[in-house]
A and B are shown apart, each in its own frame.
Chain A
Amino acid sequence: MFSLDGKRALVTGATGGLGGAIARKLHAAGAHVAISGTRAEKLESLATELGERVVIAAANLSDPDAVDALPKQAADALGGSIDILVANAGITRDGLLMRMKPEDFNDVIRINLESYFRLCKACLRPMMKARSGRIIGITSVVGVTGNPGQTNYAASKAGMIGFSKSLAQEVATRGITVNCIAPGFITSPMTDALNDQQRDATIARVPMGALGTGDDIANAALYLASDEANYVTGQTLHVNGGMVMV
């Protein structure tokens, strides 16, 4: 089950906790993986760890031309077009709206949402020809629930969900699925930095009484990337320990 043998995947934001876990999981399932990110040493060490069937496709997602070129760059390095796109890269610029600068809003929309649009567009042409493809956008629970201090981030993540539903309908007849994964609270350097009190307050909101892991998200990505998920499109898979049920 869930074999990705011979498939080619592009994972953006692979230097982060989630992206790294997703890249490892797809790779373990047999995929050839292009890992993209901004931190060169981290990409190098992930590539070394994974060994064969991995290429590095560095790109700065704040540069629209670089984003447009990324799928081709990855495909050239992998020796064939991308079958699976995992758009995971994202940034936050948190702050109350009353104090938020337009650039904090625009940067988040550009990197989280506009780059998703650009990546999808660049990947679609070969997918349409192949009559198959998997697009997976990593959104967030806050795109559905909202979160004070994250108007920009929540807007970008809600935008990814609406975008994915629309695109899913456009390309459904071509065997291409477009889905989102919405992680809840996941262990990360950010959650590690919380003090005990903050940590307890966070966990109290999760019925399962624990934070999620990168692996929990990666498993969801593996499923959506697999042939087994071929009848699933336009969906948002919430992986959050029951924190939000929609």
Chain B
Amino acid sequence: MSDVMARVKKMVVEHLDVEEEKVTDNAHFIDDLGADSLDNVELVMAFEEEFDIEIPDDAAEHIQTVGDAVKFISEKVG
């Protein structure tokens, strides 16, 4: 597992209070992990701080799954 994946996973587990096994690549924040739209906003904000990057609003809209987040962040910090 990549470093980004591990950190994202940890943040998702903490923020959404879900079991680690559920936080898979394909897990959808809202449909699978019980997030609401505000959770999504908060997660994006948390990613920005954790990885010291900026995630523009139009990109944030497309971050729907754990994999989306990892992919976006990896490209930014890569």
Contact = CB atoms under 8 A, between A and B. Distances in A.
Interface size range on B against A: under 10
Contacts of A171: 38
A200 to B, nearest CB: 51
A173 interface: yes
A170 B38 CA distance: 8
Contacts of B42: 128
Contacts of A170: 38
A173 B38 contact: yes
Q: Is the interface of B mostly helix, strand, loop or mixed?
A: helix
Interface string A110-154: 000000000000000100100000000000000000000000000
Interface string B47-73: 000000000000000000000000000
Nearest to A125: B45
Contacts of A125: 45
Interface in B1-55: 36, 38, 42, 45
Contacts of B38: 128, 170-171, 173-174
A174 B45 CA distance: 15
Interface of B: 36, 38, 42, 45
The 8 A-B pairs with the shortest beta carbon distances in the complex, nearest first, are A128-B42, A125-B45, A170-B38, A173-B38, A174-B38, A171-B38, A173-B36, A128-B45
